[in-house]
Amino acid sequence: MTMILQKMANSSSLWLKADGPEAGIVFSCRVRLARNLENFTFPPWAKDSVMKEASEKIIEAVSKSDYLKQAELIDMNELSSTQRRFLLERHLISVEFTEGGNYRFLVVEKGEMLSLMINEEDHLRLQVILSGLQLMEAWRLSDRVDDQLEENLNYAFLPQWGYLTACPTNVGTGMRASSMLHLPALTTTHKIGDILKSISKLGLVARGLYGEGTKSEGDFFQISNQVTLGLKEEEIVDNVERVTRQVVEQEKKARQVLFKRNKTQLTDEMGRAYGVLINAHLMSSKEAINLLSKLRLGVYLDLLPGFSIRVLNELFFLITPAQLQIKEGKELSPFSRDELRAKVIREKLSSLK
């Protein structure tokens, strides 16, 4: 199991490539489908014997899927808290799944664009992550994989309600569509509050870097749907994508305003951020994320020639606490992590020059 995680730690998720539409602002997009097995108690109330049988049925269905049969199967109960945190930092599992537990598994396809949690809040949670704003493409892929799994699984479904889930807010399509946005200009111009209020009025919700229950870091915000009942999957995806495009346009305008009014100040901020990152020998996660956020904006505004958004995207993940420890192959003290983080950043940024 350790070898699998170290292999992941030494590779880059394909959705970090920044090759999707609007990738300078839309970090990534995600579609997640929640499903449960018919005549099986849902995980929050299920006995171990039920969880075991459900996991076996799902794993068998996974082995018959063209999309997942070559994927890695990870037993969450065999992982340490740091190893589980690593998977959260890679956006492969939920905060709840970091608790581990019997008969909980993660299925992850090479490239990490496609993954599946078994026995989280629901028996099955299928996830697709792509670069940039490709929500419709993410939905189409998740729909194809879901159809393949359903050929060998009987889902809990009622015509009048749709897919049945442990949480009532997921009943219906069982789908969450979301986009991760980098919004430093709206934050700097103090317009982000109004934007988030407008989003909530449209039936969407904004969350932090790791989804529900987390705060925004580095000016990253995750926008997703709240309603799953009474709408078709295509309608949900279209709504989230439409609102995302509106926020993207607002961020573009805010960036143009900042550039025209404060180009010298912006250039100075980018230079100072780079100076700290390239010279520091101790760096906390929070400081690193905030400074890298400034560089990411600088690349978009062509204030940092020679840099690429893809490299900065990768850095956001190379410097997380669990990532550093998994790659190093041992537990590290907070001080050692800060020291190693600074070294990783210096080496990565130095390679660009």
For the entire predicted model, the pTM comes to: 0.93
pLDDT tens-digit readout, 147-160: 999 999 999 999 99
- Per-residue pLDDT averaged across 62-90, rounded? 95
Question: Which carries the bigger pLDDT value, residue 87 or residue 100?
Answer: 87
pLDDT tens-digit readout, 183-222: 999 999 999 999 988 998 888 888 766 555 445 678 999 9
3-state secondary structure string across the chain: CHHHHHHHHCCCCHHHCCCCCCCCCEEEEEEEEEECECCCCCHHHCCHHHHHHHHHHHHHHHHCCCCCCCCEEEEHHHCCHHHHHHHHHCCCCCCHHHHCCCCCEEEECCCCCEEEEECCCCCEEEEEEEECCCHHHHHHHHHHHHHHHHCCCCECEECCCEECCCCHHHCECCEEEEEEEECHHHHHCCCHHHHHHHHHHCCEEEEECCECCCCCCCCEEEEEECCCCCCCHHHHHHHHHHHHHHHHHHHHHHHHHHHHHHHHHHHHHHHHHHHHHHHCCCCCHHHHHHHHHHHHHHHHCCCCCCCCHHHHHHHHHHCCHHHHHHHHCCCCCHHHHHHHHHHHHHHHHHCCC
Dist CA 298 CA 267 (whole Å)? 8
- Per-residue pLDDT averaged across 275-304, rounded? 95
pLDDT at 353 over 90: no
Q: Domains of the chain by range and CATH?
A: 2-251 (3.30.590.10), 261-350 (no CATH)
pLDDT > 70 fraction of the chain, expressed in percent and rounded: 97
Q: What is the mean pLDDT of the chain?
A: 93
